[in-house]
Amino acid sequence: MNQVVFIELINPFKDKVFRLAKRLLTSTEEAEDATQEVMVKLWNKKDNLESYNSIEALAMTMTKNYCLDQLKSKRASNLQIVHNNFTDREPQLDKKLEDENSLEWVEKIINELPEQMQLLIQLRDVEQYEFEEIAKIVNMNETAIRVALSRARKKIRESMTNTHLYGTK
């Protein structure tokens, strides 16, 4: 397999890997590093890639494991600087900006969920994988995924209603 074929192979899911890494890790730079790391690992495996059913699922699993490892190794030593610490909370002028702001709220709420839930929301609601594929990536059975996903969605709804009704009650 040469470089061109490899790039073509990874192109369909390269951004998915990046988005998953960005969901789990704290910064865009870290997510870029994770993406690169996963792609290099895939490249090194290139000679026996054919033996995997779905290279995409493999890549997503590798990304998940890599990110969780990163988090585990950093959590002990580092103070987390989350990017939404820097957002300015001034009231927005425009309706459009207000919309964007509420999207930011959703992001913030999702970032506060446990990693497992973030992972499932990312895979299902953002990337729209089938449950069967998610099961392969996260190594859980489909029922457990449905239950966890339901919980995650309800949690988001709960937090959303709290912020939505903020000030009216």
Partner 1 sequence: MEPNKIEDILEKYFQGETSIAEENQLKEYFSSPNVAQHLEQYKPMFGYFSQAKEQKSTYEIPLLPKSRDKKRNVAWLSIAASAVVLLGIGTYFFVSEQKDTTAVASQTELGTYQDPEEALKATQKALALLSNNVNVGIESVQYIKEYEQSKNKVFKQ
Binding site for partner 1 (CB under 8 A): 2-3, 6-7, 10, 14-15, 17-19, 22, 31-32, 35-36, 39-40, 43, 99, 102-103, 105-107, 110, 122, 124-128, 130, 145-150, 153-154, 156-157, 160-161, 164
Write down the least CB distance from residue 76 to partner 1, Å. 28
CA distances from 59 to 1, 110, 126, 143 (A): 17, 23, 17, 23
Nearer to partner 1, 47 or 75 (CB): 47
Write down the least CB distance from residue 77 to partner 1, Å. 26
Say whether 1 sits in a helix, a strand or coil: coil
Write down the least CB distance from residue 102 to partner 1, Å. 4
Nearer to partner 1, 73 or 164 (CB): 164
Write down the least CB distance from residue 39 to partner 1, Å. 5
Nearer to partner 1, 19 or 74 (CB): 19
132: its two tokens: 């069967």
Q: Measure the CA–CA gap between 152 and 107, rounded to whole angstroms.
A: 13
Nearer to partner 1, 8 or 76 (CB): 8
CA distances from 92 to 32, 37, 88, 104, 108 (A): 31, 39, 10, 13, 17
